[in-house]
């Protein structure tokens, strides 16, 4: 059976070749682009199963590519992994808010990148069971079957990871979870996790939830919990 199709985008030829080589070795079908314009053309014509892209691109940058794809009904469900030398939290949060599913900072380990790609693709095909009940807590409604979140009856657009974190914490109000426990539950135990990666996801999630973001509480020295 054919493996998933991955589109990789980077304007540095050596990095593009490194990505292509390692993903091909894992059995994925790989297409390459060196600019934002080329990335959009390939993504809209081939509809890949996943996009790995740098943020710093000539012409249309990676954030704009993400925004365009997420606003197109044909491409809005393509998972996106951001690959960037930018470590500033603001850039990462912006990308996640636009709909990216994960990020990796340069320099990166090819093994870690492949593991991240594998984890995102697993989440894409994983379906929530229909019998999972709709959760209503505080001003939030979480519907796993529809992958839908409402705050004060208004829909909130979350990435797969953000939805998973919110659903996991909200179904266990008052319980305190470490960052590793949260990522193990949402992404799987083989997912490479750092404290910063979890914190960035929480920052983006709180921002999207607006006032309801206050219900996700930080427990210093431990992790996070959802307010009872």
**What are 159-198's pLDDT values in tens digits?**
888 888 999 999 888 898 988 888 877 776 555 556 677 8
Same domain, 11 and 79: yes
Q: What pLDDT, on a 0 to 100 scale, did the predictor assign at position 13?
A: 92
Q: What is the pLDDT of residue 147?
A: 81
139 and 114 co-located in one domain? no
pLDDT score of 20 more than 90: yes
Query: Span 76-102, mean pLDDT?
Result: 82
Statement to judge: residues 57 and 22 lie in one domain: yes
167 and 97 assigned to the same domain:
no
Q: Is residue 207 part of a domain?
A: yes
Same domain, 45 and 99: yes
Same domain, yes or no, for 18 and 117?
yes
Annotate 154-186 with DSSP letters as a single string: EE----HHHHHHHHHHHTSTT--EEHHHHHHHH
Cis peptide bond upstream of 107, omega within 30: yes
From 62, 94, 125, give the residue that closes a domain: 125
Q: Which of the listed residues 74, 90, 125 is the one where a domain comes to its end?
A: 125
Query: For residue 142, what pLDDT is reported?
Result: 92
What pLDDT score does 130 carry? 43
Question: pLDDT tens digit string along 206-218?
Answer: 999 999 999 999 9
Mean pLDDT, the chain, integer:
86
CA dist., res. 203 & res. 89, Å (int): 9
* C-alpha distance from residue 60 to each of 39, 63, 85, 131, 157 (Å): 9, 8, 17, 43, 24
Q: Based on the structure, what is the number of domains in the chain? A: 2
Q: What CATH number is attached to the domain comprising 91?
A: 3.40.50.2300
Average pLDDT over residues 27-32: 93
Report yes or no on 184 lying in a domain: yes
User: Does residue 169 sit in the same domain as residue 117?
Assistant: no
165 and 195 in a single domain? The answer is yes
Closest CA to 118 of 191, 180, 199: 191
For residue 75, the enclosing domain spans 5-125
What's the whole-model pTM score?
0.60
Same domain (yes/no): 146, 183: yes
């Amino acid at each position: 059976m054919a493996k998933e199709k991955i589109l990789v985008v980077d304007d540095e030829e050596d990095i593009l070749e490194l990505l292509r080589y390692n993903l091909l070795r894992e059995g994925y079908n790989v297409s390459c682009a060196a600019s934002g314009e080329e990335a959009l053309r390939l993504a809209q014509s081939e509809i890949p199963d996943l996009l790995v892209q740098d943020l710093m691109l000539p012409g249309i940058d990676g954030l704009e590519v993400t925004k365009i794809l997420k606003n197109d009904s044909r491409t809005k469900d393509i998972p996106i992994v951001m690959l960037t030398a930018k470590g500033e939290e603001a850039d990462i949060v912006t990308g996640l808010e636009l709909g990216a599913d994960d990020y990796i900072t340069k320099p990166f380990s090819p093994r870690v990148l492949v593991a991240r790609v594998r984890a995102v693709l697993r989440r894409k095909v994983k379906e929530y069971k229909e019998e999972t009940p709709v959760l209503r807590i505080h001003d939030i409604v979480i519907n796993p079957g529809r992958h839908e979140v409402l705050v004060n009856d208004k829909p909130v657009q979350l990435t797969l990871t953000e939805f998973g974190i919110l659903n996991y914490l909200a179904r266990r109000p008052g319980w305190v979870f470490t960052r590793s426990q949260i990522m193990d539950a949402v992404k799987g135990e083989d997912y490479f996790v750092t404290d910063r990666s979890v914190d960035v996801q929480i920052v983006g999630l709180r921002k999207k939830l607006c006032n309801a973001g206050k219900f996700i509480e930080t427990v210093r020295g431990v992790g996070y919990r959802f307010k009872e």
